[in-house]
């Protein structure tokens, strides 16, 4: 029986390993899913984005003596952040300062009784900035605010608005893609924000819009 040359053995071994490597590569997920089954809301981000956990955000938000802020935090049922940055902190997730790399932030909370009675699309538009006041002229546009898009949306678990806008902050310009939805029974609000410095946003716009489109509200169980 003739022996197989060493070179041929190496070639055969390589060919045997290659299908396995291809299979493993094909099985590696390109995105990761986040959200809350209890709240009935989900979204997806690329697999290489880093998570800033619910507990880290709760800890940062709870680091205050303001009772109104603490009361509001007590109504939060879920929040999480994701970013491509290796250094972004939980504190920076809550700040308005433009980030050099994209950030996605989801926050679901129950509404106080007085909020349930007053909830409206305009209140949803104003969860971060006084968008409606900028638009109707009752507030001076001192931030170079520009509304890029404003759409009303309806999902299985609620209805709300999706806005895209830019504004100046400490000499830099930021773009925010903001989705805010209230539940069908008006007991809960779902907020989903994707943002970064405008240059960063424009550079990554296709990927960021894909993340926004993945945000789904089915409703609390």
Distance, CA of 187 to CA of 158 (rounded, Å): 10
Per-residue model confidence as pLDDT tens digits over 38-92: 999 999 999 999 999 999 999 999 998 889 889 989 999 999 999 999 999 999 9
Q: What's the whole-model pTM score?
A: 0.86
Q: Sort strands 188-197 and 103-110 into parallel, antiparallel or unpaired.
A: antiparallel
The per-residue pLDDT of the chain, averaged, comes to 90
Q: Please list the residues that pair with 33 across neighbouring strands.
A: 44
Which range, of 10-14, 40-44, 197-201, averages the lowest pLDDT?
10-14
Burial of 16: CB neighbours in 10 Å, binned 0-12, 13-18, 19+? exposed
Per-residue model confidence as pLDDT tens digits over 122-137: 999 999 999 999 999 9
Residue 20 has pLDDT above 60, yes or no: no
Mean pLDDT value across residues 191-202: 98
What domains are defined for the chain? 29-217 (3.40.1000.10)
What is the predicted pLDDT for the residue at 221?
Answer: 78
């Amino acid at each position: 029986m003739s022996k197989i040359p060493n070179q041929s053995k190496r070639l055969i071994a390589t060919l045997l390993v290659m299908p396995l490597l291809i299979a493993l590569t094909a099985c590696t997920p390109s995105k990761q899913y986040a959200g809350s089954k209890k709240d009935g809301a989900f979204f997806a981000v690329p697999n290489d984005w880093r998570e800033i956990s619910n507990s880290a955000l709760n800890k940062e938000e709870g680091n205050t003596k303001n009772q109104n802020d603490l009361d509001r935090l007590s109504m939060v049922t879920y929040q999480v952040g994701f970013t491509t940055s290796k250094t972004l902190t939980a504190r920076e997730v809550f700040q308005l300062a433009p980030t050099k790399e994209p950030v996605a932030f989801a926050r679901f909370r129950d509404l106080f009784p007085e909020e349930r009675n007053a909830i409206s699309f305009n209140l949803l538009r104003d969860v971060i900035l006084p968008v409606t006041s900028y638009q109707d002229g009752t507030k001076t546009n001192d931030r170079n605010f520009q509304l890029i898009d404003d759409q009303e949306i309806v999902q299985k678990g609620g209805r709300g608005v999706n806005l895209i806008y830019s504004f100046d902050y400490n000499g830099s310009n930021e773009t925010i893609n903001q989705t805010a939805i209230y539940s069908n029974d008006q007991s809960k609000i779902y907020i989903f924000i994707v943002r970064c410095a405008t240059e960063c946003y424009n550079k990554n716009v296709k990927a960021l819009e894909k993340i926004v489109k993945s945000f789904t509200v089915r409703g609390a169980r």
